């Protein structure tokens, strides 16, 4: 199931490590196109690459992304395989409306799975959330993202926290698709939950380092006695 909705996700998470021969464009080519074949003018990978390049260049809205794509030089449009106009012999960039429509239709779970790094070789993975700046639109609240990142700064995956809930409900869904055997998972005090600890130890065979604040009186009595042979590692950071 897709982590963003109740529908089936069209992409199986396929994390890529540093040594992967596939470029970002190659990975995006694996993404199923959610649009109907009729009337489709611009390749999906082209639209996503232009949107990503515009955001890296400083665009913070669909209008700004569309303006950046419109002003992109022909060399850039050729590299992303933009639509070719045979009569004029030039490349045409997708409009801002097309970019908005495509981004809203693309499965965010599948996109994160195709562009994420491989956590298999990571010694530790940090889980943290952040509200995307500039994502609030009118009455629509800002997007809050929960992400997992390796110790060397590579993003494994991320998902949007549904409105009217918090990061706690998304912790297991974020990490469940990946093999975390022997990996140390770190998170802030919000995720110092018994269910999270059981999930990591019993289901993922991983270790964890959670922060315990003074206002978490019951949790501060967490068992930190020396481990016996065969027991699972447990760690607590006291503040």
pLDDT digits (tens, 9 = 90+) for 200-233: 999 999 999 988 877 766 665 555 555 555 555 4
Average pLDDT of the segment spanning 14-34: 70
CA-CA-CA-CA dihedral for 192, 198, 204, 207, to nearest 10: 50
pLDDT of residue 77: 94
* pLDDT classification of 19: cutoffs 50, 70, 90: very low
pLDDT of residue 214: 73
Q: How far apart are CA 161 and CA 135, in angstroms?
A: 13
Say how many residues make up the chain: 239
pLDDT digits (tens, 9 = 90+) for 150-176: 988 888 888 888 877 889 999 998 898
Residue 185, pLDDT above cutoff 90: yes
The closest of 224, 186, 185 to 203, measured between CA atoms, is: 185
pLDDT of residue 18: 45
Tokens of 173: 């869904």
Q: How far apart are CA 167 and CA 160, in angstroms?
A: 9
Which residues make Cβ contacts (< 8 Å) with residue 103, sequence separation at least 6?
Answer: 47, 48, 51, 62
**Structural domains of the chain sorted by starting position, each given as residue range(s) with its CATH number in brackets:** 33-106 (no CATH), 118-238 (3.30.420)
* pLDDT classification of 27: cutoffs 50, 70, 90: confident
Give the chain's largest Cα–Cα span: 76
pLDDT digits (tens, 9 = 90+) for 121-152: 788 999 999 887 766 777 777 778 898 999 88
């Amino acid at each position: 199931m897709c982590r963003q909705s109740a529908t089936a996700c069209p992409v199986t998470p396929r994390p890529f490590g540093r040594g992967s021969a596939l470029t970002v464009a190659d990975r995006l080519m694996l993404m199923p196109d959610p649009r109907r074949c009729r009337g489709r003018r611009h390749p999906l990978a082209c639209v996503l690459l232009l949107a990503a390049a515009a955001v890296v260049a400083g665009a913070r809205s669909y209008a700004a992304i569309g303006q950046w794509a419109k002003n992109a030089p022909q060399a850039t449009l050729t590299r992303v395989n933009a639509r070719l106009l045979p009569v004029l012999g030039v490349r045409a960039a997708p409009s801002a409306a097309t970019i908005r429509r495509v981004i809203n239709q693309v499965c965010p779970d599948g996109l994160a799975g195709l562009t994420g790094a491989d956590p298999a070789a990571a010694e530790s993975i940090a889980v943290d959330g952040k509200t995307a700046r500039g994502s609030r639109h009118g009455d629509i609240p800002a997007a809050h993202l929960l992400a997992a990142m390796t110790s060397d700064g590579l993003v494994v995956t991320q998902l949007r926290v549904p409105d009217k809930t918090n990061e706690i409900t998304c912790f297991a869904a974020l990490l469940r698709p990946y093999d975390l055997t022997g990996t140390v998972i770190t998170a802030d005090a919000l995720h110092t939950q018994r269910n999270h600890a059981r999930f990591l130890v019993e289901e993922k065979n991983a270790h964890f380092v959670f922060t315990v604040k003074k206002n978490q009186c019951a949790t501060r009595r967490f068992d930190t006695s020396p481990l016996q042979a065969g027991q699972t590692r447990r760690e607590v950071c006291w503040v």
